[in-house]
Amino acid sequence: MNLSFYIARRYLLSKKKTNLINLISAISVVGLAIGTMGLIIGLSGFNGFDSLIKSLFSSFDPEISITAAEGKNFNPNSPCFEKLRQLPGIANYAEIVEENALLRYNGRQVFATIKGVSDGYQHFSGIDSMITQGDFRLRDGSGEYAVMGEVIAYNLTIGVHQQEPVSIFVPKKGRGNSTLPSESFNQKSIYPSGIFSIQQEIDAKYVIVPLSFARELFELPVNVTGIELKLRPRASVGKTKEAISGLLGSAFLVRDRYQQHDYLYKTMQSEKYVTYLILILILVIASFNIVGSLTMLILDKKHDIEILQSMGANHRTIRNIFLFEGWMISLSGAVIGSLAGLAICQLQIAYGIVKLSGTANTFIIDSYPMKILFPDILLVFCSVSLIGFLAAWYPVRYISGKLIRDEMH
């Protein structure tokens, strides 16, 4: 065993002449442990919310979306789209018509985005698992139906078994200056068959209707506003997106699920790393106890330093003793804090101990989500170890060196 490490371990566990040194060392370990635990819990909480939001959007957003780089709509019947359908990584292909409209029902009106989708869209997107009232049905033998977001349904005070349909109004193309409202707007009516709840932003925006209904409403007999793709289970999103971009060229925007909400995901990542930096700053402040503890220990062991020097110990050996002491204090705090943080995260995952405040059914989950990622644990452990090393280096570098020089003279 290394001599410096052996002596440092004895110093860490043995009783000092001044009890205050033991107390400060204990406070250093506890402070670093609490900071480490807070980091792991905080980062795991952000990971949990990030995973939750991604899972919610994945129920509505396609794995890859294609829109026109210029203009609102395009013709999907060109040869390049026929080739696109045959790419090996694509499992499903859906044409989409998406435009804003005014909804009116029972004297109430709201603005919403009408999204016309192809048949079988519920299997394409998984939105059928998010239905809270009714079912996902866009057409049957008796007609066409709409599935709307929960916030829109609430604002219209509408349910799925109403006797009156919802009226939808959109401006007619090229007739916006007419003095007669009937000549300025296209108007169609449709009954709701289901209400979905995914995420407030989506619930307050979308009404899903059959593609033929949307095409007639928006006067788009052939064109679409977008194409949504679902990939095969083992297909690479990046490689498939690259192949599509090469096939379609610069006239189209090809975006994966994260690029469709680029601002949201970047904001969440920024919040996570800002939280990390704030907690690291707290750890830096807590590490000042290590400086005080090692300073007092070096002064307390002045007589031991003299003995070691007389026995032939060089300057480096003596420095390493106290450097190892500081490392063991910081690593003890890192290990204890990591284990405590992981245990609390596992308890929250298993039992949902900390609940989300609010009334029943306010949130889609009833407790704070947690997700433990190994890179985050490694980052926290390395950060705490680095902080502990820097906190130990100052007193060891200067104070022990000064004492050794004084003794030599």
**Residue 20 confidence (pLDDT):** 65
Residue 396 tokens, joined: 């060891």
Query: Which amino acid, one-letter code, is at 150?
Result: E
**Residue 183 confidence (pLDDT):** 72
**Residue 391 confidence (pLDDT):** 82
* 48 and 85 together in one domain: no
**Residue 196 confidence (pLDDT):** 92
Residue that is last in its domain, among 203, 226, 256? 256
Contact 342, 373 (CB under 8 A): no
* 381 and 345 together in one domain: yes
* 347 and 299 together in one domain: yes
* 88 and 170 together in one domain: yes
* 149 and 237 together in one domain: yes
* 174 and 127 together in one domain: yes
Query: Which amino acid, one-letter code, is at 126?
Result: G
The dihedral built from the CA positions of residue 290, 295, 298 and 299, taken in this order, carries a sign that is negative
Contact 117, 138 (CB under 8 A): yes
Residue ranges for the chain with pLDDT beneath 70: 1, 3, 5, 11-21, 174-182, 358-364, 398-409
Listed in sequence order, the residues at least 6 apart from 123 whose beta carbon sits closer than 8 Å to its beta carbon are: 92
* 280 and 303 together in one domain: yes
* 363 and 239 together in one domain: no
Owning domain of residue 368: 3-57+264-408
**Residue 251 confidence (pLDDT):** 92
Tally of domains in the chain: 2
- Axis crossing angle, helix 315-351 with helix 288-300, rounded to the nearest 10: 140
**Residue 125 confidence (pLDDT):** 78
Residue 294 tokens, joined: 């090692």
DSSP 259: G
pTM confidence score: 0.77
**Residue 394 confidence (pLDDT):** 73
* 239 and 269 together in one domain: no
